[in-house]
Amino acid sequence: MNIKNMSLEQKIGQMFIVGFESPYVDEHITKVIKECHLGNIIYFSRNIKDSKQLFEMNKELQKMALSENNAPLFISIDQEGGMVTRIPKGATFFPGNMALSAGGTSEDAYKQGCYCGEELNVLGINMNLAPVLDVNINSDNPVIGVRSYGEDPKRVSAFGTSYIKGLQESGIIATGKHFPGHGDTSTDSHLDLSSVPHDKKRLDQVELYPFKKAIESGINAIMSAHVVFPAYESENLPATLSKKVLTGLLKNTLGFNGLILTDCMEMKAIDTYFGTEKAAVMAVEAGADLICISHSLNKQVQAYNNLLDAVKTGRISEERIDESVSRIISIKNKLKIDKFLNSSFEEIETILNNETHKEFAQKISEQSITLVKNQQMLPLKNTEKILTISTNAISTTGADDSLSERSIAKVIGNGFKNFYNEVIDIKPTAIQVEHIKEIATSFDKIIVFTYNAHLYREQAELVSKIYDINKNLIVISMRNPYDIKAFSYVPCYAAAYEYTPISLNSLIKLLKGDIKGSGKLPVSL
For 194-236, how does the pLDDT look when each residue is reduced to its tens digit (9 = 90+)? Answer: 899 999 999 999 999 999 999 999 999 999 999 999 999 999 9
User: So what's the pLDDT on residue 418?
Assistant: 85
Look at residue 521 and tell me if it is in a domain: no
Is the pLDDT at 520 greater than 90? The verdict is yes
Residue 141: CB atoms within 10 A of its CB come to 24
Look at residue 332 and tell me if it is in a domain: yes
- Where a domain ends, among 286, 314, 349? 349
319, 423: one domain: no
User: So what's the pLDDT on residue 371?
Assistant: 98
User: So what's the pLDDT on residue 60?
Assistant: 98
Q: How far is CA 252 from CA 243, 247, 287, 434, in A?
A: 11, 6, 11, 60
Q: pLDDT tens digits, residue range 260-270?
A: 999 999 999 99
Look at residue 356 and tell me if it is in a domain: no
The residue type of 101 is S
User: So what's the pLDDT on residue 375?
Assistant: 97
Mean pLDDT of the region 302-331: 98
257, 397: one domain: no
Print the domain residue range for 401.
369-512
Is the pLDDT at 12 greater than 70? The verdict is yes
Look at residue 11 and tell me if it is in a domain: no
Classified as helix, coil or strand, 126 is coil
User: So what's the pLDDT on residue 17?
Assistant: 98
Q: pLDDT tens digits, residue range 73-119?
A: 999 999 999 999 999 889 999 999 999 999 999 999 999 999 999 99
266, 397: one domain: no
- Where a domain ends, among 349, 383, 413? 349
414 vs 436, higher pLDDT: 436
332, 394: one domain: no
**Counted domains in the chain:** 2
Specify whether 190 is catalytic.
yes
User: What's the pTM?
Assistant: 0.95
467, 333: one domain: no
61, 107: one domain: yes
423, 338: one domain: no
**CA–CA distance, 313 with 336 (Å, rounded to integer):** 37
Look at residue 173 and tell me if it is in a domain: yes
Classified as helix, coil or strand, 296 is coil
Is the pLDDT at 258 greater than 60? The verdict is yes
Q: Which of 78, 188, 263, 401 is catalytic?
A: 263
Look at residue 524 and tell me if it is in a domain: no
Beta partners for 473?
446
What percentage of residues in the chain have a pLDDT greater than 70? 97
- The strand pair at 492-495 and 370-374 is best described as antiparallel
304, 387: one domain: no
Determine the distance from the C-alpha atom of residue 377 to the mean position of all C-alpha atoms in its chain, rounded to a whole number: 34
403, 299: one domain: no
The CATH number that applies at residue 181 is 3.20.20.300
User: 393 pLDDT band (50/70/90 cuts)?
Assistant: low
User: 191 pLDDT band (50/70/90 cuts)?
Assistant: confident
Look at residue 355 and tell me if it is in a domain: no
3-state SS track over 375-412:
CCCCCCCCCCCEEEEEECCCCCCCCCCCCCCCCHHHHH
User: 396 pLDDT band (50/70/90 cuts)?
Assistant: low
Q: What is the mean pLDDT of the chain?
A: 95
The CATH number that applies at residue 400 is 3.40.50.1700
User: So what's the pLDDT on residue 319?
Assistant: 98
- Where a domain ends, among 286, 318, 349? 349
Long-range contact pairs involving 298-304 (C-beta distance under 8 Å, separation at least 24): 299/265, 299/266, 300/16, 300/18, 300/32, 300/36, 301/31, 301/32, 301/35, 301/36, 302/277, 303/16, 303/265, 303/276, 303/277, 304/12, 304/13, 304/16, 304/32, 304/36, 304/280
**CA–CA distance, 361 with 509 (Å, rounded to integer):** 15
320, 448: one domain: no
User: 411 pLDDT band (50/70/90 cuts)?
Assistant: confident
User: So what's the pLDDT on residue 192?
Assistant: 85
Q: Which of 37, 178, 182, 190 is catalytic?
A: 190
Mean pLDDT of the region 177-194: 88
Mean pLDDT of the region 404-431: 82
Is the pLDDT at 409 greater than 90? The verdict is no
Is the pLDDT at 403 greater than 60? The verdict is no
Look at residue 362 and tell me if it is in a domain: no
Mean pLDDT of the region 49-56: 97
168 vs 400, higher pLDDT: 168
Q: pLDDT tens digits, residue range 327-340?
A: 999 999 999 999 99
Beta partners for 132?
177
**CA–CA distance, 45 with 400 (Å, rounded to integer):** 10
Burial of 398 (0-12, 13-18, 19+ CB in 10 A): middle
282, 419: one domain: no
Classified as helix, coil or strand, 223 is strand
46, 195: one domain: yes
Q: pLDDT tens digits, residue range 376-385?
A: 999 999 899 9
